[in-house]
Amino acid sequence: MKDIIISTRFSAFESVTQLPSDIQNLMAQAVAVRKNAYAPYSKFRVGAALLLDNGKIVLGSNQENAAYPSGLCAERVAVFQAGAIYPDAKILKMAITAASDSNQTTAPIPPCGSCRQSIAEYEIKQDFPIEIYFMGEIGAIYKSDSLKNLLPFMFDKNFL
């Protein structure tokens, strides 16, 4: 037996004002679309904003459904919308923010496992890393230079 050690690196920003101006704008749009979330069951609202290489910004918010798990997370809403409307565009950057109706979220909230797998599919498809910025309602923002930091053992088309 041998151990496999995987190391990842994230950048941490103390507040939105420390982000580059284009990311501040992207995060502001994620915060705004978070308010459109349909979250009557979890009371947990998530917003995502994608910057594409064509300059377009695509938004998504989580959409729940009483027939769980028929809903979708904000990240997948945005990624799938980008794939449908701009199939040849690359996703350059993604901003994610989450807030609870019950308590204030102060820690950075990363994408769930299903979203990580969906984002991985697009990162592999476009053969270009996606910068991912994520935060709670307030507080620190974490930046990952690629989805590979969040999902080091990705399942992709090469396994099929």
pLDDT beyond 90 at 98: yes
Rounded to two decimals, the pTM is: 0.95
To the question of whether residue 32 is assigned a binding role by annotation, the answer is no
Q: Pairing relation of β-strands 131-135 and 91-100?
A: parallel
**Residues, the chain, total?**
160
- Average pLDDT, integer, range 11-26: 97
What amino acid occupies position 45?
Answer: R
CATH number where 46 lies:
3.40.140.10
Structure tokens at 158: 């090469």
Q: How confident is the model at residue 160 (pLDDT cuts 50, 70, 90)?
A: confident
Residue 137 marked as a ligand binder: no
Q: Counting Cβ atoms within 10 Å, is residue 3 exposed (0-12), middle (13-18) or buried (19+)?
A: exposed
Instruction: Let me know if residue 150 belongs to a domain.
Output: yes
On whether 62 is known to bind a ligand per the annotation, the reply is yes
Asked if the structure places residue 116 within a domain, the reply is: yes
When pLDDT is cut at 50, 70 and 90, the band that residue 156 belongs to is: confident
* Residues in CB range of 49: below 8 A, 6 or more apart: 26, 27, 29, 30, 33, 57, 58, 59, 60, 78, 94, 95
| In a domain? residue 3 | no
How sure is the predictor about 75, in pLDDT bands with cuts at 50, 70 and 90? very high
Structural domain harbouring 31:
10-159
pLDDT at 154 over 90: no
Q: How much is the average pLDDT of 96-113?
A: 96
State the pLDDT at residue 157. 83
Active site residues: 75
Please give the pLDDT value at position 158: 82
Mean pLDDT of the chain: 96
Q: Does 5 fall in a domain?
A: no
**4 in any annotated domain:** no
**Domains in the chain: how many in total?**
1
pLDDT of residue 35: 97
